[in-house]
Structure 1
């Protein structure tokens, strides 16, 4: 063991003292390993990112949100109300606060509560309010900004959040009371199918990184092996040269670990305030889990040693040179086929899991995906070797490329292995997400062609409810308002025992509004209708128990159980006509008593709920924002919803956002890795390229040979990725009980992978031109 350690140390010394060539080789290895390590550290930080964000979110939740015993008024109690909103597609969270004592509870991120008319905002919200883009939002939040919310009170640095002080909040108006912040928000467990999707995504995104790290430690292998021949002349045996080579790779990987750590620390500061779709985090949140960080720190150097020792088995380092140019032993294919076959088998025999059922062990999902994708990476060198073995003739550029692949196609295959695995994984992920799409993105019954915004509010009087409808109709950009004032109507009388008092809903609106809610052939102000639900005779009969033309109904239901309250009686006109209900733009069917304002004086209603479905003019910029400004002016806590015919599951949307972010990071790494690998291969062949140019070979032929040398493995890799990715996708869909819905999903993904490699190859042409200069013939 001591001898092996000395040999590793000697190899590490050669890595740093081997002259310019040794330094360049070591730096290229360090750069490749460093890029991979930085991304691995970022992936290892995701658990802490989620945990830290969730902890900050729980810490600012008013405790009353989840408490069973109501809080009493005290010196530390605070009244609060949720006042979240949206602005140009961005969500804003907020709380209205009113202290009830001298020492009120203060949420994290603040040193004191804002006073009436004051507001504390997140840095991102302050920046938006101070910019020209925030002009309409400033009208919606007419408070003076007096403080900024600290990091402890925010989910991420890009969050738009505020606390506003109020002097009018009351429990009668819907506010709640608390005396501390730090409630626990109940979170739904991640859907089992989404767990499987997330596991596969982690494998797909990280496996190319690991493959690239394994490739990076072999940079400069040919020049290094030739230099090792000199050691044989001074007495080193074959085993010693292998361990010295492993020591050089170990030094490069150790330097890569250091470089990767620096890149990670620098990168987390750089992206700390950047949002990728819905993902953002504070720089400090990017802290790798200790166990995962230790695993990376130990696995990378160990992999460098193991990979080098394994590859050196096929290289004969002799005192007079390196036997590498001879035709290599033909690669065996049987064990390479076993890996993907085993992976697909693991996924196929796993218990099927539907959306509402349990799912197989995530470890089995990961194992199946790893075996399948790793098998594709090991199959690629054999496929390239078999494909080019019998190729003969053709133009000079083609012959140069083919001959290079015949003599040493492994290097080119390793460079393309990462993109092969990435494309195969992307195909399988796309097939899986498409297959389960219908379970998480459903079509609603809402009709956005009739209205685009739904507003609901409860008021203590019908007069305020009616005024709200008028305010919306006067708002800029509003074309029409389907506005109703609703209250309950009961059948007067005394009911004892198990008797249920007949009750229905009174809906007041103009003729145009009522025509959107029921199938009314004709209408004029003063008309009334008894609306029955279509195809529900039982419910229609229940409506008729209360809605009896010519009979009295009570419009103040509180008088039914409080004798001190005087009932508000109203007689349903005998002329009330029976009609059938019609789905409103929200997809709901309303029934009961419908009346126009001429039949019922809404100002006499003791309490009412107002619903307004608003149709806006899309030609007016920010029409939605004008509507939300009107709603905030009436009541900051008013519920405003967008009418949409598609509803997306929030967990599914979150997973999709994470997939996009991870895919961007992985693709950037793959592109950089391909570029570094391509430059390294060209540098290895600098002398050969210069010799060919000196003998009269055209530079254009050499450039085309580089393109062909890359194109052949890429085409074969993409074909392999399509076959393997499709097989993996079918197995994953079978595991979750779904079938393939689109067999042609691979086309854009395969094209993207091919284009990425070709672009990187084109970027390597300028270094190629420089390496073909005559000074490449110089030797040391």
Structure 2
């Protein structure tokens, strides 16, 4: 009978059922998307492993791979364009049966390339003009899905010649197949604090979803109770009315599962066309595991029935009406405090555990965080009731809003619960991330005020050619060019060897402290307490560039030290970092040494010039497609920490969308419930402006109280989590206020979107009834 009421109770019945289904469906869709995340990440990893090539080059067994008609030479040419990573490879087959990269049907000929769909789109646009200059190849095809980790990935394979001479066992090498090498080490255990972060992120992102589903199930509760009172009048008893209410909730939630599946399929397709924080997927990746999907299908209807029965516990439905229409009893505080106190009790034993005392108990962490966040939903109705009970005087709109809140503070609090839980969780996470960031962030020692980019080219490119290119590159403010090599005292297996830096006096002063310098000078900068190098590099001594070792062929070039050898000192802010070895000015060397040197440059760009960084990359690529260009940064974070942080941002973006959509549905449902009341007030002559303001106050007051409560709970939870990770408790108030501002901003947007339907409801014909 309850199911029939949901769908055959006239317009009121199915409108309520649809609103409930939309609210539940939005939550179900996000739960399904969340359940699909492990599979999406695993599929991305599998695709990355299947196309692995440089990993094979680094592998010991492939360093000495002999050429055959089944081998392929591959060179890594990754680059960055407008802060987006571009995966690039140059390919040269040794024979007709060379292995094909996944997603590629034919190895492109020299001067041709196959690209990912996203890169093809970028190169055709005006935005990709500079990148087109960097990739002077003709596009002859696209990479299919099996060869890409995401739908928006920028990637290409280009044909090349002459790569055999550049095999170095690092970025250029010969392979027999793609994706053969597997890691047999088993990997290292993740840091306990990072595991704590993952647990808290999951709980914080999923809790608002559960709260919204519980709120959506209770849409139209007052009208439902009046219908149940009518059923009591025709003979139904209390148990029967509760079963009927449970049937209505079950029908709405099952319809919500259908809506949620549709929303999920739509979101799945949308996921294939967007990129969030540099992460993109194909729709085929977004498949929840059957076990998690089955759990959602069972848990959502069951939860809806339990929430409905729980909501009816304090409602007495009699044949002549609903007792709740009288003044409700004051809410009790004591049991509401038990939830957050219970959460703190679960987390307290882990205070001070940190990273060195094993993993945190995942059940205690999950339970503690859940109880603290659920405590907000229990405390907020009491806070709203206590606040509005003392309000009264004010403008007409204020009095209308306060009186409405006094009569139904629980309904107002329910609408705000989700946003309050989300903001509290965000504040706690922000504190935890900010507190532990220093543990996973290390200084690089790079002085970004002296250089923004570092370029390294191969032996065949003279340093003078690099300087000429940089002179012509727009946006280059200043640069320093040096050459680098390796020097030993014998042709093969030298006992004393050293790094060599070649540059003019100005360049050498940027990497070390040198005494009076002029072209032709030679300097020695040994490791502390290393006297062998000083004794070896002496006037008249013949040394050898690029000496041969057991695993490398002999390409040594003799060089005789001429003139005085001076002592240099280390410079703490050297462009080369920890600098040591032999420093030589250009005229002290002959041109014969050039093949043994690599060219490097340290570039400072003009930030006011658009695309200056990309122009420098183009200049380097014009000299050598295999040029390495690095952006200088003062600090860098560990990959695991950065991945968790990115996952949080992606998840938070999805939850924010859900928050906005669910709040809008809740607001529309509240307006629908009050349609006749609003029409009656308009009919009596109340100004629409007054009613609009009253609706705004009805939203603003609970939101303000909810955000205040979420700040308190969020700060407490954040402080406890920091204590658990053995990190000093600090509060970044700017971040806290920004979280509150985001929550308030979502509410403002929802309120503005609900104004048009509100104005439509303010018509006297809303009093018409059937």
TM-score normalized with structure 2 length: 0.93
Contact map agreement 1:451 1:585 (CA 8 A) in 2? no
Alignment of 1:644-723 (within 5 A): 644-723=633-712
Q: 1:766 pairs with 756, 762, 765, which one?
A: 756
Tell me the equivalent position of 1:530. 524
Contact map agreement 2:211 2:417 (CA 8 A) in 1? yes
Shift of the 480–342 alpha-carbon distance from structure 1 to 2, 3 Å rule, reads: same
Shift of the 736–515 alpha-carbon distance from structure 1 to 2, 3 Å rule, reads: same
Tell me the equivalent position of 2:742. 752
Alignment of 1:446-457 (within 5 A): 446-457=446-457
Tell me the equivalent position of 2:147. 153
Shift of the 237–159 alpha-carbon distance from structure 1 to 2, 3 Å rule, reads: same
Shift of the 20–42 alpha-carbon distance from structure 1 to 2, 3 Å rule, reads: same
Alignment of 1:254-273 (within 5 A): 254-273=254-273
Tell me the equivalent position of 1:75. 69
2:388 aligned with 1:380, yes or no? no
2:479 aligned with 1:481, yes or no? yes
Shift of the 681–478 alpha-carbon distance from structure 1 to 2, 3 Å rule, reads: closer
Q: 1:545 pairs with 515, 535, 538, which one?
A: 535
Which has the larger displacement, 764-773 or 341-350?
A: 764-773
Which has the larger displacement, 161-170 or 622-631?
A: 622-631
- How many residues matched? 760
Which has the larger displacement, 738-747 or 236-245?
A: 738-747
Stretches of structure 1 that go unaligned for 5 or more consecutive residues are 1-9
Tell me the equivalent position of 1:224. 224
Shift of the 471–753 alpha-carbon distance from structure 1 to 2, 3 Å rule, reads: closer
1:617-673 Cα distance to aligned partner (Å, 9 max, x none): 444433322332232233322221112222233332222222222212212211222
Alignment of 1:560-599 (within 5 A): 568-583=557-572, 586=575, 588-599=577-588
Alignment of 1:491-530 (within 5 A): 491=489, 501-530=495-524
Tell me the equivalent position of 2:105. 111
Tell me the equivalent position of 1:778. 768
Tell me the equivalent position of 1:6. none
Contact map agreement 1:156 1:282 (CA 8 A) in 2? yes
Q: In the aligned structure 2, how far is the partner of 1:109 from the partner of 1:561? A: 39
Q: In the aligned structure 1, how far is the partner of 2:552 from the partner of 2:609? A: 52
Tell me the equivalent position of 1:405. 405
Tell me the equivalent position of 1:278. 278
1:672-721 Cα distance to aligned partner (Å, 9 max, x none): 22222122122212222223333343333333322222222222211211
Q: CA deviation at 1:424?
A: 0.6
Contact map agreement 1:84 1:92 (CA 8 A) in 2? yes
Secondary structure of the corresponding residue to residue 69 of structure 1 = helix
1:295-337 Cα distance to aligned partner (Å, 9 max, x none): 1111111111111112122222222222221122332322221
Q: In the aligned structure 2, how far is the partner of 1:197 from the partner of 1:560? A: 47
Contact map agreement 2:679 2:767 (CA 8 A) in 1? yes
Q: In the aligned structure 2, how far is the partner of 1:505 from the partner of 1:287? A: 53
Secondary structure of the corresponding residue to residue 677 of structure 1 = helix
Q: 1:32 pairs with 23, 32, 36, which one?
A: 23
2:40 aligned with 1:49, yes or no? yes
Q: In the aligned structure 2, how far is the partner of 1:553 from the partner of 1:353? A: 60
Tell me the equivalent position of 2:91. 97
Q: CA deviation at 1:262?
A: 0.7
Contact map agreement 1:445 1:586 (CA 8 A) in 2? no
Stretches of structure 2 that go unaligned for 5 or more consecutive residues are none
Contact map agreement 2:351 2:723 (CA 8 A) in 1? no
Contact map agreement 1:77 1:179 (CA 8 A) in 2? yes
Q: CA deviation at 1:244?
A: 0.6
Q: 1:64 pairs with 35, 56, 69, which one?
A: 56
Contact map agreement 2:117 2:143 (CA 8 A) in 1? yes
Q: CA deviation at 1:31?
A: 1.2
Contact map agreement 1:125 1:160 (CA 8 A) in 2? yes
Contact map agreement 1:60 1:183 (CA 8 A) in 2? no
Secondary structure of the corresponding residue to residue 722 of structure 2 = helix
Contact map agreement 1:119 1:162 (CA 8 A) in 2? yes
2:713 aligned with 1:724, yes or no? yes
Q: In the aligned structure 1, how far is the partner of 2:244 from the partner of 2:492? A: 99
Contact map agreement 2:492 2:548 (CA 8 A) in 1? no
Contact map agreement 1:505 1:592 (CA 8 A) in 2? yes
Secondary structure of the corresponding residue to residue 558 of structure 1 = coil
Secondary structure of the corresponding residue to residue 199 of structure 1 = helix
Q: In the aligned structure 2, how far is the partner of 1:38 from the partner of 1:680? A: 20
Q: In the aligned structure 2, how far is the partner of 1:553 from the partner of 1:562? A: 23
Tell me the equivalent position of 2:174. 177
Q: In the aligned structure 1, how far is the partner of 2:416 from the partner of 2:554? A: 81
Q: 1:733 pairs with 702, 719, 722, which one?
A: 722
Q: 1:144 pairs with 138, 143, 164, which one?
A: 138
1:576-596 Cα distance to aligned partner (Å, 9 max, x none): 332313246545132333221
Shift of the 149–191 alpha-carbon distance from structure 1 to 2, 3 Å rule, reads: farther
Q: CA deviation at 1:45?
A: 0.9
Shift of the 605–693 alpha-carbon distance from structure 1 to 2, 3 Å rule, reads: closer
Shift of the 391–628 alpha-carbon distance from structure 1 to 2, 3 Å rule, reads: closer
Shift of the 216–590 alpha-carbon distance from structure 1 to 2, 3 Å rule, reads: same
Alignment of 1:619-630 (within 5 A): 619-630=608-619
Shift of the 506–263 alpha-carbon distance from structure 1 to 2, 3 Å rule, reads: closer
Shift of the 358–668 alpha-carbon distance from structure 1 to 2, 3 Å rule, reads: same
1:168-221 Cα distance to aligned partner (Å, 9 max, x none): 111654331221112356576654322222221221121111111111111111
Q: In the aligned structure 2, how far is the partner of 1:273 from the partner of 1:72? A: 42
Shift of the 357–483 alpha-carbon distance from structure 1 to 2, 3 Å rule, reads: farther
Q: In the aligned structure 2, how far is the partner of 1:618 from the partner of 1:754? A: 35
2:629 aligned with 1:637, yes or no? no
Q: In the aligned structure 1, how far is the partner of 2:555 from the partner of 2:299? A: 80
Q: In the aligned structure 2, how far is the partner of 1:84 from the partner of 1:354? A: 38
TM-score normalized with structure 1 length: 0.92
Which has the larger displacement, 21-30 or 670-679?
A: 670-679
Secondary structure of the corresponding residue to residue 738 of structure 1 = coil
Tell me the equivalent position of 2:119. 125
Tell me the equivalent position of 2:210. 210
1:513-569 Cα distance to aligned partner (Å, 9 max, x none): 112122234322222223356xx3x03x23312223x24031245368899979754
Tell me the equivalent position of 1:164. 158
Secondary structure of the corresponding residue to residue 459 of structure 1 = coil
Q: In the aligned structure 2, how far is the partner of 1:183 from the partner of 1:74? A: 18
Shift of the 507–494 alpha-carbon distance from structure 1 to 2, 3 Å rule, reads: closer
Tell me the equivalent position of 1:4. none
Q: In the aligned structure 2, how far is the partner of 1:620 from the partner of 1:716? A: 48
Secondary structure of the corresponding residue to residue 555 of structure 1 = strand
1:593-632 Cα distance to aligned partner (Å, 9 max, x none): 3221122224335622332222334444333223322322
Contact map agreement 1:80 1:97 (CA 8 A) in 2? yes
Q: In the aligned structure 2, how far is the partner of 1:490 from the partner of 1:336? A: 76
Q: CA deviation at 1:743?
A: 5.3
Shift of the 72–493 alpha-carbon distance from structure 1 to 2, 3 Å rule, reads: closer
Secondary structure of the corresponding residue to residue 394 of structure 1 = coil
Q: CA deviation at 1:32?
A: 0.9
Contact map agreement 2:2 2:246 (CA 8 A) in 1? yes
